[in-house]
Amino acid sequence: MNDPRSRILPLLRQGERLLWVGQPNPKVRFTGADAFLVPFSILWGGFAIFWEFMAATTAKQPFFVLWGIPFVLIGLYFIFGRFIYKKRRKLRTVYALTDRRAIVCTGDRSVSDSPVNGVPTKIDRTKDGRHVSVTFGSQGIGLFGMGMYQNTGMDFFSLGLGQTVAFYDVPDTDGLLSALDQATVG
């Protein structure tokens, strides 16, 4: 993958000053929402697999077996797939903070940004203080209230609706917070 800085420099506007560039830590897997999502995913997946087993062994009509397949697939995504999706997305994501904007670049084409000055931010440090997440603006609700599930892998289902510009699981806590102070003062 390219150097994160080289991916951001072409996105800068004339006169814009780059204060910080970084990437999320792909090893951070869990968020606060996982306190609900992990038990829910196990219950959903377990019931769906039980349904499929019972339908395959006792049902005389194939409709019941076919009906359960999407639920099993969704359950498997809840249990495992969302972590794979989240890690792959983090490996392709670069964050940048300028004197004017917060920029999130995911992959080669997906770029979102938010003005820095005058926009409320939410700063969350992990308990051990090794990572920080910064949300710019209000947290979107997205499709089916998905805004609260951003950075869980469930945001895959929001289809880009209500996505908030945010830097998640950043290991360079001091560098990001210092740049954020510079951006909001300047």
Q: Are residues 167 and 143 in the same domain?
A: yes
> Does 26 fall in a domain?
no
Contacts of 91 (CB under 8 A, 6+ apart): 1, 26
Q: Are residues 99 and 148 in the same domain?
A: yes
Q: Are residues 118 and 170 in the same domain?
A: yes
> Does 181 fall in a domain?
yes
Residue 51: its H or E element: helix 34-58
pLDDT at 165 over 90: no
> Does 18 fall in a domain?
no
> Does 169 fall in a domain?
yes
Give the residue-averaged pLDDT of 76-103: 93
> Does 23 fall in a domain?
no
> Does 54 fall in a domain?
yes
How many domains is the chain built from?
2
Q: Are residues 39 and 112 in the same domain?
A: no
> Does 24 fall in a domain?
no
Q: What is the pLDDT of residue 128?
A: 87
CA distance 186 to 182: 6
Give the residue-averaged pLDDT of 142-152: 61
CA distance 45 to 47: 5
Q: Are residues 51 and 104 in the same domain?
A: no
| pTM score | 0.83
C-alpha dist (Å) from residue 177 to 3, 80, 118: 21, 32, 17
Give residue 74's domain range: 34-86
> Does 134 fall in a domain?
yes
Q: Are residues 81 and 105 in the same domain?
A: no
Q: Are residues 177 and 114 in the same domain?
A: yes
Give 144's pLDDT tier (boundaries 50, 70, 90). Answer: very low
Tens digit of pLDDT for each residue in 18-72?
A: 999 999 999 988 888 888 999 999 999 999 999 999 999 997 888 888 999 999 9
Q: Are 179 and 170 in contact (CB under 8 A)?
A: no
